[in-house]
Every structure is written in structure tokens, then in C-alpha cells.
Amino acid sequence: MNDVWGVLGYVLLASFLGVVGQLIRVVAGLKKENDQAGALGQTLASRFSAQQLWTSLGISVAVGAIAGVLAALQVTDLHKMTTSTLLGFLGAGYSGTDFIEAFMKKSLPGN
């Protein structure tokens, strides 16, 4: 029973860190959008999409959870987590979400 709760904790931590990784990407994207809006004489608010933000954060939760499950399958002791594992979850949220969003923009109609 403890293993189930340990894996769940691992997956939840990975999901949270995936969101943190995505939020780092969001900050960079907002800076870029703000610069582009200023160059066009627009405001950031006119270019901001809350729906896109929430979708992006939802994807990052899923990406982090998947990374957590895959990592938990490889770990023999769930209580020994390294810094590189934590940074890997951040990276999964950052790059995994970017990959999925780019794939969606390219593959879905209307984009």
C-alpha cells in the first residue's frame, strides 16, 4: 500500500514541476508578446489568450504526470530523488508542452 501512495506522490510532484516548467516558458512567451505588441502599437492584454494559457497548463500537468509515471517505473526507491530527476520534470513540462503545442498547431485544422 505504501508503494501506491509513494508512486502517487511521485506523479503529483512531477505534475507540479511540469507546470512550473511550463510557467517558465509562459514568462518568456509573455515577454516576447509584450515586445511584439509594443512594436505594433498594441497592448499585451489585446494579444493575451487566457484559454491558451489554461490549455497549455493542462497539457503541462499531463506531460509532468507521464514523466512521473515513467520515472517511477525506473526507480527502485521512491524516497531517493536526485536533483537531476527534479530538473528533468521541469524540463519535461517546458519542452514536452512546447512539442505538443507545436504538433497541435501544425496538425489541427484552423491553425
C-alpha cell at 103: 504538433
Does residue 63 lie within any of the structural domains? yes
Residue 49: Cβ within 10 Å count: 10
Does residue 81 lie within any of the structural domains? yes
- Max distance between CA atoms of the chain, in angstroms, equals 59
C-alpha cell at 66: 507521464
pLDDT of residue 57: 93
pTM reported for the whole predicted model: 0.81
Does residue 5 lie within any of the structural domains? no
Domain span at 87: 14-107
Does residue 9 lie within any of the structural domains? no
pLDDT of residue 35: 92
In the chain, which residues have pLDDT < 50?
1
Does residue 28 lie within any of the structural domains? yes
Cα 68 to chain centroid, rounded: 12
Beta strands in 10-92 (DSSP E): none
pLDDT of residue 1: 40
Does residue 96 lie within any of the structural domains? yes
Domains in the chain, number: 1
C-alpha cell at 45: 492584454
